[in-house]
């Protein structure tokens, strides 16, 4: 399956709303536009891969310094590790690879939580 | 774990030799420089994700047209599907996300087969 991410990004405008663009093994490939900040959360059973396609993704951790990830860099957040993604005043584009079982904002439900992920 | 792919690519020169740069759940994240062509092969148990970081990756299939994948695009090759990656006369940089169980050239061993994957 060939997927043009640039073309997929033209199909939505919301921030912090991941859309599914592909699947492999028991994982989904998702894309999202993010701007501002999400809540602190963790995923007890799943490691999470962030691939930054445009802009700089900032990630706070409870017990270590904030990490900035840019295009050409990736970030893996291990299972169980609390994290808070945010951006400076810019829209950042990311690709996520995560087990299908993963919930968007962990066990916390907030306004930004997407309960039912959709394909785009 | 934060990984600077550009910096990792400076550490090796071989073509068709994937190196591990990260792991999540039961998958490895690998990078490779590719040029020329690899053999026809398949992976009976694993879907394979190709993320193209530089250049154009060509992929032949037995029963459908060749697919070209460029930066900003991804390609998922489903389990059991024979494929042959190749490039035009340029070095192409790719990131792969694959289950740890996956063998580089499927069940075929050729000169380009890497038996023991290394971290870089």
In b/e form, how buried is each residue of A66-81, taking b as 16+ CB within 10 angstroms? ebebebbbbbbbeeee
Question: Does A115 have pLDDT greater than 80?
Answer: no
Task: Look at A2 and B73 and tell me if their CB atoms are within 8 Å.
Answer: yes
pLDDT at res. B117 = 87
In b/e form, how buried is each residue of A90-108, taking b as 16+ CB within 10 angstroms? eebbbbbbbbeebbbbbee
Split at pLDDT 50, 70, 90, the class of A105 is: confident
A65 touches chain B (CB under 8 A): no
The mean predicted confidence, pLDDT, of chain A is: 94
First to last CA, chain B: 14
CB pairs under 8 A between A and B: 89
Give pLDDT tens digits for B59-111.
Answer: 999 999 999 999 999 999 999 999 999 999 899 999 999 999 888 788 778 87
Cross-strand bridge partners of residue B2: A75
A38 touches chain B (CB under 8 A): no
What number is the ipTM of this complex? 0.92
Give pLDDT tens digits for A40-58.
Answer: 999 999 999 999 999 999 9
Query: Alpha carbon of B101 to those of A46, B11, B33, B55, B98: distances in Å?
Result: 18, 25, 21, 28, 8
Q: What is the DSSP letter of B114?
A: -
Q: Give percent above pLDDT 70 in chain A.
A: 100
Query: 3-class secondary structure for A11-78?
Result: CCCCECCCEEEEEECCEEEEEEEECCECCCECCCCCCEEEEEEECCEEEEECCCCCEEECCCEEEEEC
Average pLDDT over residues A17-40: 96
Domains of chain B: 5-99 (2.60.120.10)
Give pLDDT tens digits for A54-86.
Answer: 999 999 999 999 999 999 999 999 999 999 999
């Amino acid at each position: 399956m060939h997927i043009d991410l640039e073309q997929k990004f033209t199909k939505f405008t919301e921030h912090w709303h991941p859309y599914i663009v592909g699947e492999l093994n028991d994982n989904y490939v998702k894309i999202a536009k993010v701007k501002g900040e999400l809540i602190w959360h963790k995923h007890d059973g799943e490691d999470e891969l962030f691939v930054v396609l445009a802009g700089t993704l900032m990630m706070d951790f409870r017990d270590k310094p904030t990490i900035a990830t840019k295009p050409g860099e990736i970030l893996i957040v291990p299972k169980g590790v609390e994290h808070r993604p945010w951006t400076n005043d810019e829209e950042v584009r990311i690709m996520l690879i995560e087990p299908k079982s993963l919930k968007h904002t962990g066990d916390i439900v907030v306004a930004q939580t997407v309960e039912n992920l959709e394909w785009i």
